[in-house]
Chains A and B, each alone.
Chain A
Amino acid sequence: MSEPRIMLTGMAINEAMDIAMTLDPKVFLLGEDIAEPSGGVYKVTKGLSEKHGLHRVRKTPISEQAIVGAAIGAAIAGYRPVAEIMMMDFLAVCLDQVTNHAAKIRYMSGGQTTVPMVIRTSAGAGMGFGAQHSAMLETFAVHSPGMKVAVPSTPADAKGLLLTAIFDDDPVLFVEQMMMYWDKSYAGEVPAGDVRVPFGKAAIRREGADVTLISYGRQVHDCAAAAELLAADGVSCEVIDLRTLVPWDEAAVMQSVGRTSRAVVVHEAVTRCGFGAELSSRIHEELFGQLSAPVQRVGSANTPVPYASNLEADFIPTVADIVAAVQRTQG
């Protein structure tokens, strides 16, 4: 037996792109600062331009509309571009290309043209970057029919979901929470080679009987921590990691909540109209009579992301917030 391959999230994402480019000459990357010597501002594309060439790992001007537009055109013409939008907040700069073009082109063309592209973007608070470099805006894409959305929580999923995204024939928004890139506490085993994780298949991270915690991305780890604390109090939590929001695994969620009769939805995006609102609504529509308590939502404060470290820590949902939400479903 060989040693398990323990990797950091940033390395796993890098490996996915390396494998995809090796497998398929139609895959290329474009974005700001992604080539050597920088290898991306977070080093996630480190080494790829040396290995695959500057024509396939393309540094762009600071022009988000031009980046996403070029990716869309090349995708329609048969390529599989992976565009990097350095910070998710910058999606707002190119949202027209995402929501009006990438998302709608298959439909508007009656299926004649497709946009097999990925937009990778760094996101999330906790880095001390303030309001315009920290937001979680995945619902921008969720609310744009035609876009798929993935938010990985582990290095293995980051690699496997990104490989699926790159070889998917639809546009995918791939959300990478910055806090996870190089933090060893998020390290994990990653299978070697072209191992893909399918979209729309949730992972049950912890089995439990009393309440279902539904989350995605980094907050899955907080849910697991909360579940551990609650177990000591005799509350058994099931933790579901959605992995992808479009499509999302309704069957797994309904099956679990149907059994536990209680649900808490958790994400880093601000609570109001966050993806948790959709989850909560669907659970109520499907399981109203079987619920023992209203579905609880845990998300960030309905504010811009603050700068001061104490305020930023208060902005992001905490393990304590999740425990409190679970307790509201009890009794």
Chain B
Amino acid sequence: MSDVERPDAPDRDTLLQMFEIQSRIKLCDERFRSMLMSGQIRLIYYSPRGQECISAGWGVHLRQSDYVVTIYRGLHDHLAKGVPLRELWAEFLGRATGTCKGKGGPMHVTHPESGLMVTTGIVGAGIPIANGFGLAAQLSGTDQVTVVNFGDGASNIGAFHEGMNLAAVWKLPVIFVCQNNLYGEHTPMSMSTGVEYISERAAAYGMPGVTVDGNDPIATWKVMGEAVERARSGGGPTLVEARTYRFWGHLMGDAMEYMDKAERKAAMAADPVVLYRAWLIDNGHATEAALVEIEEQVTAAIDDAVEFALNSPQPDASELYTDVFGDESAAMLNGASR
């Protein structure tokens, strides 16, 4: 984010809305990590820190009725699609009041009311499923769009190829968002991927592909807007590669030996949320006080959500056996309850 005015920037409301989403993600992540490190909570946690601008970039273009599919590193996408903080925190902590009654967990957050339809723990698997949401919209004649998020690693798995091809053949209203954080688990992209830019692969499917600096919220907003508009107006799918960096490795507890220390230090020094915040103030889009107010509101909402989650019970023991099938009679489990 440069310190100069950007003629391509959206209106002020949108700018602040993006800041609010980014702040939600950043502050939620910081709370999760501090509570994990202090031993207050225990969970498997994939930090999205560093990738905030990408989700905020599509988040402001989507309607509640649009669909989002994401992966295990999905907290930023959940928040950008508007999954409520209380239910989200409760789900991450495995509580009965969570979005999925505590039965899904952080890797499987689902909240159809917000349009957050699937969170998968399987790399690349959301791509073919996103096509199904796109197909449903196409068959129904609505202008709903689907955004499916995945990492650079997913672009090397078969489901990516099958899904991208089918989306192109059927001209589905799907936006494929590759959040390229330069690492697939513990392996740098340079050791796993033969192309320099994931977006180059779009040409192989006959769909538009674009690479954007995912740490530049204005550029990301613009590219996402074009892709959403294309999908909404019947123009078919787009592959957007948003380049970014994950600050905290693959998974909390990761020693990150495979990451270059200087590279990581530089990325964290260029924290996109911090830079965007400064840009908003420097260019007169917001005052320091206005941004502090947003941050304080977010912090208060997180305080409330954490308290709500911690005070919520775990699911009732009977929940082990429910939601396997629609018909919950014991016969459906064939006496195999033990």
A residues adjacent to B (C-beta < 8 A): 28, 55, 60-61, 63-66, 68-79, 81, 96-97, 100-101, 105-114, 145-146, 148, 168-170, 200, 246-248, 250-251, 282
Contacts and interface: CB of A to CB of B under 8 A. Distances in A.
Interface string B300-336: 0000000000000000000000111111000110110
A248 B333 CA distance: 9
A55 B139 contact: yes
Contact of B125 (A101, A112, A148, A247): A101
Given A66-B163, A96-B122, A108-B110, A247 B136 contact: no
A77 B132 contact: yes
Given A108-B108, A110-B100, A97 B326 contact: no
A250 B335 CA distance: 9
B131 A70 contact: yes
A72 B129 CA distance: 6
B162 interface: yes
Given A66-B131, A73-B134, A76-B132, 13 more contacts: A61-B169, A72-B128, A73-B117, A77-B133, A79-B136, A81-B132, A110-B103, A111-B323, A112-B110, A168-B326, A246-B332, A247-B332, A251-B331
Nearest to A69: B128
A100 B132 contact: no
Contacts of A74: 132-133, 135-136, 139
B163 A69 contact: yes
Nearest to A100: B122
Contact of A70 (B111, B128, B323, B327): B128
Given A69-B132, A70-B135, A112-B110, A200 B100 contact: no
Nearest to A28: B139
Contacts of A168: 326
Contacts of B19: none
Which of B108, B112, B133, B325 gathers most chain A CB within 10 Å? B325
A108 B104 contact: yes
Interface centre among B121, B131, B165, B322 (most CB of A within 10 A): B131
A86 B159 CA distance: 18
Interface string B117-128: 110111001011
B7 interface: no
The 5 closest A-B pairs by CB, nearest first: A73-B132, A69-B128, A77-B136, A110-B101, A110-B100
B99 A112 contact: yes
A66 B331 contact: no
Contacts of A251: 331
Contacts of B48: none
Given A70-B132, A72-B132, A100-B120, A146 B162 contact: no
Interface string B141-172: 00000100000000000110011011001000
Given A108-B110, A109-B104, A146-B324, A65 B162 contact: yes
Nearest to A79: B136
B162 A106 contact: no
Interface string B232-257: 00000000000000000000000000
